């Protein structure tokens, strides 16, 4: 049973999960860890009672530890956790946007320890960043993808899934590889498209005032943190390039239809796009 939850990283997602746990799981003790005081002060102002800059204080005695930091930071944190020792069983999960890399880096570090790693990825977010943008209902209604590359016991996987379900998530299991290739299509590739749309569409500043809802909607996520997204896109670059190559082929085909004034094929393509959009 999960009685204490530790969240490492007071950003948008980590902060939102903390707010949700405090509201929806009042029976659990919650601790939020961060390297800097400023976001933790913000968390306290938003109602998070227990915050700390001490990693040892954050993870000692916890049942579920959630890595809500950039993926590139996770290995270092886990190394520090392992060095602390401890004999209390712990479920460790993350909320990173890629899964092959965390499993590859974290799994071997935990051999012979009482810590068991299961990947998580709530499909929720915003172009905004930081604890100040956290919302108690950010993950409510989201699908949380769960990856279990280390073969953790079914009982523990169910316990983690039950945790996410209590926060309002639907859960779905995938392999780390399937996760990364699927998320490349539905998350990382759309970010590329939004960035291209903003770069090409707004090549001339004096036309920005002409933009309507369509431009704002299709480029919204391009307003995200460039540092964070550079890391995400590079970490999933092989899967992402598949989608990008397909899009280049589609653009070439669309250009050909425009040149040939082929209204029938253009209509068929747009009609299929409309049908696929209706799936969500």
pLDDT in tens, 92-130: 999 999 999 999 999 999 998 999 999 999 999 888 889
Give the pLDDT mean for 175-201: 95
Looking at every residue in the chain, the average pLDDT score rounds to 94
Residue 176 has pLDDT above 90, yes or no: yes
Alpha carbon dihedral 180, 181, 183, 186, in 10-degree steps, equals: 170
Report whether 124 contacts 110 (CB < 8 A): no
- Which tokens sit at 162? 């039950």
The owner of tokens 């409510």 is 140
Q: Give the tokens for residue 256.
A: 């050909």
In this prediction, residue 87 carries a pLDDT of 77
Q: Which pLDDT does position 128 carry in this prediction? A: 84
For range 46-61, the mean pLDDT: 94
pLDDT for the residue numbered 85: 80
List, for residues 57-100, the tens digit of each pLDDT value: 999 999 999 999 998 899 999 999 999 887 789 999 999 999 99
The pLDDT score that the predictor gives to residue 174 is 97
Spatial strand order in the sheet of 170-173: 119-122, 143-147, 170-173
Query: What is the pLDDT averaged over residues 30-41?
Result: 95
Q: What is the pLDDT of residue 125?
A: 81
Judge whether 133 and 158 are in contact, CB under 8 Å.
no
- Minimal CA–CA distance to 28: which of 61, 67, 56? 61
Kindly report the length of the chain.
280
β-pair partners for 119: 147
Of 68, 52, 48, give the one whose Cα is nearest residue 60.
52
Instruction: Supply the pLDDT for residue 280.
Output: 87
What tens digit of pLDDT does each residue of 1-32 get?
899 999 999 999 999 999 999 999 999 999 99
**Cβ neighbour number for residue 145 with a 10 Å cutoff:** 23
Per-domain boundaries in the chain: 4-174, 179-277
Give the gyration radius of the chain's Cα atoms: 21
**Per-residue pLDDT reduced to its tens digit, 217-230:** 999 999 988 998 99
**How far is C-alpha 130 from the geometric centre of its chain's CA atoms?**
14
Looking at the DSSP bridge assignments, the partners of residue 65 are 6, 92
Cα→Cα distances 79→67, 100, 107, 264, Å: 13, 18, 11, 59
CA pseudo-torsion sign 171, 43, 9, 128? positive
> How many whole angstroms separate alpha carbon 234 and alpha carbon 142?
25
pTM: 0.88
Classify 4-174 by CATH class. Answer: alpha beta
94 phi and psi angles, rounded to 5 deg: -140, 175
Q: Which fold has domain 179-277?
A: 6-phosphogluconate dehydrogenase C-terminal fold (1.10.3660)
Residue 198 has pLDDT above 90, yes or no: yes
Q: Count Cβ atoms within 10 A of the Cβ of residue 9 and give its class: 0-12 exposed, 13-18 middle, 19 or more buried.
A: buried
User: Averaged over 186-194, what is the pLDDT?
Assistant: 95
d(CA 123, CA 37): 28
Is it the case that residue 268 has pLDDT exceeding 90?
A: yes
β pairing state of 119-122 and 143-147: antiparallel
pLDDT at 188 exceeding the cut of 90: yes
Paired tokens of 33: 């860890």
- Return the SS3 of 88: coil
């Amino acid at each position: 049973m999960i009685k204490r939850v530790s969240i490492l990283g007071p950003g948008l997602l980590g902060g939102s999960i903390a707010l949700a746990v405090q509201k929806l799981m009042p029976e659990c003790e919650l601790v939020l860890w961060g390297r800097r005081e400023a976001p933790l002060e913000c968390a306290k102002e938003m109602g998070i009672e227990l915050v700390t800059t001490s990693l040892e204080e954050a993870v000692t005695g916890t049942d579920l530890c959630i890595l809500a930091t950039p993926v590139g930071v996770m290995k270092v944190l886990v190394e520090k956790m392992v060095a602390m020792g401890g004999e209390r069983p712990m479920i460790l999960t993350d909320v990173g946007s890629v899964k092959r890399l965390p499993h590859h880096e974290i799994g071997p570090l935990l051999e012979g320890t009482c810590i068991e790693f299961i990947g998580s990825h709530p499909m929720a977010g915003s172009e905004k960043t930081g604890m100040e943008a956290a919302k108690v209902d950010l993950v409510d209604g989201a699908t949380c993808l769960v990856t279990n590359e280390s073969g953790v016991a079914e009982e523990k996987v169910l316990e983690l899934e039950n945790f996410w379900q209590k926060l309002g998530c639907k859960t779905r299991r995938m392999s780390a590889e399937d996760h990364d290739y699927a998320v490349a299509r539905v998350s990382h590739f759309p970010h590329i498209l939004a960035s291209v749309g903003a770069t090409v569409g707004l090549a001339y500043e004096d036309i920005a005032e002409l933009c309507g809802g369509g431009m704002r909607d299709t480029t919204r996520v391009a307003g995200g943190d460039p540092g964070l997204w550079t890391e995400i896109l590079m970490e999933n670059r092989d899967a992402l390039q598949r989608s990008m190559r397909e899009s280049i082929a589609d653009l070439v085909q669309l250009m050909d239809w425009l040149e040939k004034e082929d209204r029938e094929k253009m209509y068929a393509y747009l009609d299929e796009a409309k049908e696929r959009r209706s799936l969500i």
